[in-house]
Amino acid sequence: MNETTSAFVAAPTAEMMEMVLPNDANVLGNILGGKVMHLVDICAATAAVRHCRRPVVTASIDYLEFRHPIKIGEMIIVKAALNRAFKTSMEIGAKVWSENLVTGERQHTSSAYLTFVALDEERKPVIVPAYQPVTPEETRRWHDASIRREHRLAIKTRLSQRKVE
């Protein structure tokens, strides 16, 4: 099968977890936002590579919210899944939870949407495999990814047409 063949493949996922240690935290004892972003980027990139089986680069992070802090001693759990494959790019959705290891309580703390571009051996964008959703949840994420992509491209176009004073 060559690079332009469009064979459908299942939506790849990735999951990571790590204990929040004092070196990961701010003066309030909560994980640093940059550390959360770092782990989200790694986990989402893993899902992207699993889809295209090529190196990828992060093209954008559309939306990253911090809903609740994750404290020192808790686990940070990051799950990522392919939402949609476009021509050379893919949107990956990521969710973050905290887990109190003593009580077992989990709390949704962050969400993000990341776009990755697959690269060939010369580090040029390359066509990624097609993806067809199967479940109703995958179908919803697939459609929503298209709306977010249209929004990203419209913003990029508007900003590039701005007159600089």
Q: Does 21 fall in a domain?
A: yes
Is residue 31 domain-resident? yes
pLDDT of residue 7: 53
pLDDT tens-digit profile of 84-103?
Answer: 999 999 999 999 999 999 99
Residue 165 lies in a domain: no
The whole model's pTM is what? 0.88
Answer whether residue 5 is part of any domain: no
pLDDT of residue 164: 67
Domain count, the chain: 1
pLDDT of residue 11: 76
Domain presence at residue 7: no
- Answer whether residue 138 is part of any domain: yes
CATH of the domain at 117: 3.10.129.10
For 132, the domain range is 13-160
Residue 69 counted as domain residue: yes
What's residue 3's pLDDT?
A: 45
What local confidence, expressed as pLDDT, does residue 62 receive? Answer: 87
Residue 146 confidence (pLDDT): 94
Q: Looking at residue 37, what is its pLDDT?
A: 97
SS3 readout for the chain: CCCCCCCCECCCEEEEEEECCHHHECCCCEECHHHHHHHHHHHHHHHHHHHHCCCEEEEEEEEEEECCCCECCCEEEEEEEEEEECCCEEEEEEEEEEECCCCCCEEEEEEEEEEEEEECCCCCECCCCCECCCCHHHHHHHHHHHHHHHHHHHHHHHHHCCCCC
Residue 3, in any domain of the structure: no
pLDDT, residue 97, reads: 98
Task: Split the chain (165 residues) into runs of 10 and give each run's mean pLDDT.
Answer: 49 94 97 97 98 96 92 98 96 98 97 97 96 92 94 89 73
